Chain A
């Protein structure tokens, strides 16, 4: 009997997640972005993402995408992997949504076949949307790929995110893998005890039951984690160790990224 689609999804998910979390290869390899203070990088890259959202011109968006590719190369991020995992997925998703706009948006006809008319306005809209999504996704992915998750969370404090929220994000992220693996094991153990093919209603029952047990385990784990926190001296205060120090090159980096973003905003109007 073939594996249940959910079991295979979860297995794939937990493996990919575990691989990403454990390795964090790109985040630790000595590239340009990796050498920049996470706070400077966060502010600078977010400015570039906002600039790509503000840009209304195709050349500006191409330039921002080129900046993203340049930074990826300089930061030793595998561009082929970036293309496969990020650009292709974003393109497929966005193009599927943007493609009908080429025919539905009124404007000067570029191409006509029977009653179907492709307009210049429609093509411009579709290209703009696809490029904007590609640029924004590339830049935000670069930020995450070149920064260890915990540093990124600590850097979020510079944007005024409350310390409790950062602690919650860190804890959520840490237990995601564990819960995904638990769910995966539960599905596997159930699958191994199934002979034949389950009907739709039976599959549904199984899924919901697994979800219920997972929820019970989640809550029990929450209590266990709390006990562990108490055992380590938790008194209701969350503190983060902030060992970041801005050096000259970090100031230069944030200034450069902000300058590019400002230039893109002006040029993209």
Chain B
């Protein structure tokens, strides 16, 4: 996933440097205040740790091995800004000193792995682990998914950056000037290995390290033993903002690729859009039989995010967002409730098993006294 020099066009590299610079500036601004304290050596050593952990070749179920990036655990321990700083430093040293990843592509590599990776890891960990107790299994699952999600998003971004090169940069004869594979080759090629091997390695490593820290150094992962779980207010604020921004979705004209309704195949304007988005390959004039048959199997209660009783499209989008978020929160709350009950049962069972051994006196020891 470390894109070397020469694979991305200079304009892509410049764009990615600019995109990363905004995040670096913000991360530095936020961590600069803490530089007065322990943050300076802690960030540097975490970066060194990320570098070393990338060398850990983790044996995976199925007999293969994979190595982790460490971005998941860095984001959980240092937060998204500290995590992106630490991983960016590790990537910079890899590029400058070891030639792993290019200098011109450093902005892109940092954006994919350090920036998007840290934000994803931290966001997933907070969202999934939100409100759970320090020792709950859900937090462990949250850490694993944080690792899995972050590395896969990073891989997807890298694949997109590589995959757009032949579309945008080719010579007069059509020969690609940089990375030669289009999106439909780059994305499956990149994601196959990350969804299966590298993603699993990152998930196992993040969950394993999180479990270790939770047991031995709970303060490092923000889980001081007496801490009561709390819901980060900023996340709720972010969620509310996203819901308010939902009506922006109506600005995107046309149907998403591959989400056409059977009637679109007969509509002249929709057919033109499909052809334009499919490499000028004309769509059939009649919807394929299977598609037409299965399209009506389920009628959604809120088709196209527009409840029938609402006239305004924007308000319909907003209502749909509130409805969708409500359902998700309801499901999460139910899962949490079931998990909490199971946890209580397990704790009671464990207490029963431990109790007799705990208080029994060893007869040999008694005799020895």
Contact = CB atoms under 8 A, between A and B. Distances in A.
Contacts of B213: 212, 215-216
A172 B52 contact: no
B45 interface: yes
Given A121-B173, A176-B48, A236 B57 contact: no
Given A126-B180, A171-B41, A53 B48 contact: no
A223 B38 contact: yes
A94 interface: yes
A175 B212 contact: no
A167 interface: yes
Give chain B's interface secondary structure class. helix
A185 to B, nearest CB: 12
Interface in A108-162: 121-122, 124-126, 128-129, 132-133, 135-137, 140-141, 144, 149, 152, 162
Q: Chain A contact residues: over half helix, strand or loop, or mixed?
A: helix
Contact of B10 (A54, A94, A200): A54
Nearest to A209: B212
A223 B44 CA distance: 11
Interface residues of B, number: 70
Interface string B29-73: 000100111101111111111011101111111010100000001
Contact of A173 (B13, B38, B40, B93): B93
Nearest to B74: A215
B180 A53 contact: no
A144 B102 CA distance: 13
A90 B85 CA distance: 28
Contact of A176 (B52, B99, B185): B52
Contacts of B73: 215
Contacts of A221: 41, 45
B104 A172 contact: no
A133 B96 CA distance: 15
A155 to B, nearest CB: 11
Interface string B1-13: 0001111111001
B168 to A, nearest CB: 13
A93 B28 CA distance: 34
Contacts, number: 233
Given A125-B176, A164-B32, A226 B53 contact: no
A249 interface: no
A204 interface: yes
A: contact size bracket: 35 or more
B208 A50 contact: no
Nearest to B92: A169
Contacts of A129: 6-7, 178-180
Interface string A6-17: 100110010000
A53 B257 CA distance: 33
Given A169-B92, A214-B52, A200 B59 contact: yes
A219 interface: yes
B216 interface: yes
Interface string A79-120: 000000010011001100010010011110000000000000
B48 A175 contact: yes
Interface string A166-196: 0111011101101110010000000000000
A60 interface: no
A101 B176 contact: yes
A98 B166 CA distance: 13
B205 interface: yes
Contact of A179 (B45, B89, B211): B45
A175 B145 CA distance: 30
B85 A136 contact: no
B90 interface: yes
A214 B217 CA distance: 12
B175 A107 contact: yes
A116 to B, nearest CB: 17
Contacts of A175: 44-45, 48
- Ranked nearest first, the 10 interchain pairs of A and B with the lowest CB-CB distance are A212-B212, A208-B208, A136-B5, A236-B36, A171-B44, A132-B6, A101-B180, A121-B175, A225-B41, A222-B42
Interface of B: 4-10, 13, 28, 32, 35-38, 40-49, 51-53, 55-61, 63, 65, 73, 77, 85, 89-90, 92-93, 96-97, 99, 102-104, 171, 173-181, 185, 204-205, 208-209, 211-213, 216-217, 220
20 contacts: A53-B5, A53-B10, A56-B171, A90-B4, A121-B175, A129-B6, A133-B5, A133-B6, A140-B96, A140-B99, A168-B47, A169-B44, A179-B52, A180-B52, A207-B56, A212-B212, A219-B220, A223-B42, A229-B40, A229-B41
